[in-house]
Amino acid sequence: MDFAFASGDQEFRTEAREWLSEHVGPDRDRRTWERTLGKAGWIGLGWPEAGYGNRVASLTRQVVWAEEYARSGAPPRSGHIGENLLAPTLLAHGSEEQKARFLPPVAGGEELWCQGYSEPDAGSDLAGVRTTAVRDGAYYRISGQKVWTSLAHEADWCFVLARTEPDSRRHHGLSFLLVPMDQPGSVEVRPIRQLTGTSDFNEVFFDGARARVEHVVGGEGAGWQVAMSLLGFERGVSTLAQQVGFAKELGEVLRAALGSGAVADPVVRERLVRQWAELRVMRWNALRTLGSSGDAGAPSVAKLLWGGWHQRLGELAMAVRGAVASVGPGEWSASVSYELDALQHLFLFSRADTIYGGSDQVQRTIIAERVLGLPREPKGVV
């Protein structure tokens, strides 16, 4: 069922569908695709302000675009971190100069971003950041390590949470800096090879990397407030688009179950029906909370729902295929990376769904402390 009902929204759906059908193709690399989207104004639909080369669309139309994008089979986005995380943060906390400098290249698909938050000793506990930024004239010199940095190998810029006040602790003394990645000898990116054989995540090492003083968002020492504000933008319209992708994967699992004869097993049938029903529940929950504010637990509930659901789908994908699920689609060789088919990739990648983006334990802690008002979990001193 489509979310949009008004005639104007249906016309927008038709426009989006026709544009995507014309421009989606197998020959586009991801950076070229971002520029194609930007040239047509499709980047930044959810921004509250126009004038940066973007269209501005209502919440309903943002959902329409996200769903049509997912249905079209368009390439994975490389620019979503800049569009959906950095841009709303700059619009809320950035100076006019920062908006004018950074938003047009994001809207045009010209500059790609990554997020420098997690560290080896500060993943889920973000207040434990140890990366430092020392003032040096018109610049800050940044030293430290970030990890699990999505798309850092493609990014032009990184927004980095770093400690600018010496000897500060926890959430005090942090700043939110915009750092160029093209600094040979000062910024090193090391891809992290995953179970799937791909390397979407990276380690990033800063060794005296420079960031301009005027590129500190919100002012020195305001990093914690800015960082928390950004995390509030991480989930929203994109959840509904994600569910379109989930529905496609569920369809593939169902076809595999029919092909293998696994649907003859009543337990398998029950699991398939449960996956379908839970996906519908997630959709209606996403629609119920869409555009709402002030509900501290809603993003955590959504993450708990989809993380566990997707992981169970990966397990079901292997179960319906039986022993053949352990065999790859190509000949194995010790000298060549192993191949995976779509369902094997789903299973292996989904093992991390309950960890990345805030582990299940972290989400339950947020619900316990911020919604239920239970005593806060004691934190160690950094």
Residues belonging to the active site: 234
Q: Give the integer Cα–Cα distance in Å for 212 and 139.
A: 4
Let me know if 122 is exposed, middle or buried by CB neighbors in 10 A (0-12, 13-18, 19+).
Answer: buried
Strand partners, 191: 202
Residues whose CB falls within 8 Å of the CB of residue 125, separated by 6 or more in sequence, listed in order: 379
3-state secondary structure of 204: strand
Pair of tokens at residue 231: 């995390």
Residues whose CB falls within 8 Å of the CB of residue 362, separated by 6 or more in sequence, listed in order: 124
Q: Which of 179, 181, 174, 155 is nearest to 218 (CA)?
A: 174
Question: Which H or E run includes 371?
Answer: none
Let me know if 62 is exposed, middle or buried by CB neighbors in 10 A (0-12, 13-18, 19+).
Answer: buried
Q: What are phi and psi of 11, to 5 degrees?
A: -65, -40
Residues whose CB falls within 8 Å of the CB of residue 220, separated by 6 or more in sequence, listed in order: 164, 175
Beta strands, E only, 71-228: 113-116, 132-136, 139-146, 157-163, 174-180, 187-192, 201-212, 216-217
- For strand 113-116 and strand 157-163, is the pairing parallel, antiparallel, or unpaired? parallel
